Amino acid sequence: MKKTILFNALLFLIFISCSSSDDTVERIDDSSLNSLQFKMVSFNIDIPVDINNDGTFSTDLIAEGNPCGFYPFKVNDEGVVTHPYTSGISLEIETDINGVKKQVFTCGIAGALGLSYQIDGDDLVLINPNNDEISFIGKISADKKLITLTFPKAGIFKQYILKQDGSSQEYLGGAVAVYELIE
């Protein structure tokens, strides 16, 4: 009898030690975004610019006329994310023949990244399937209708921003893109 109680106590202790700890995040079903599309509703930078040269400065590049024709964030039936990989994004200052400076935005759409994804709480983790490295970590709303991707400061924009007072400033910030579910 003592051996049975001791054995059951030992099994109980082993069971408790193998259970999950409080520092783990409950994983949500990773197929929950399959077959969905999200449109970009904002693409914000830190400093206001006037790309469409209408005299109104904004930190939201979509409000400035969607200069790159940003494509939707799509997840196919197999869970592969196709998100446009934009390369060579730059804010530049051009001077016309009259000496008037204007802000221009150039970009090259290099194709689409075929990423896999995982959802951890409100984190959306986009993973390069070729090397299993994390490409982006974004946020996803609880109802899965909004995705926010924050692009790091390094390498997003090159060149300079034409400020409202006519001076220029090197842009060292990143960007935040917000996508909304297309229903």
pTM over 0.95: no
Residues 6+ apart with CB under 8 A from 112: 71, 82, 83, 84, 85
Domain ranges of the chain: 28-181
| Neighbour-count burial for 26-56, b at 16+ CB within 10 Å, e otherwise | eebeeeebeebebebeebbbeeebbbbeeee
pLDDT tens for 32-76 read 888 888 888 888 888 888 888 888 999 988 888 765 656 677 888
How many angstroms separate the CA atoms of 134 and 20, rounded? 24
pLDDT tens for 8-17 read 333 222 232 3
Residues 6+ apart with CB under 8 A from 53: 102, 103
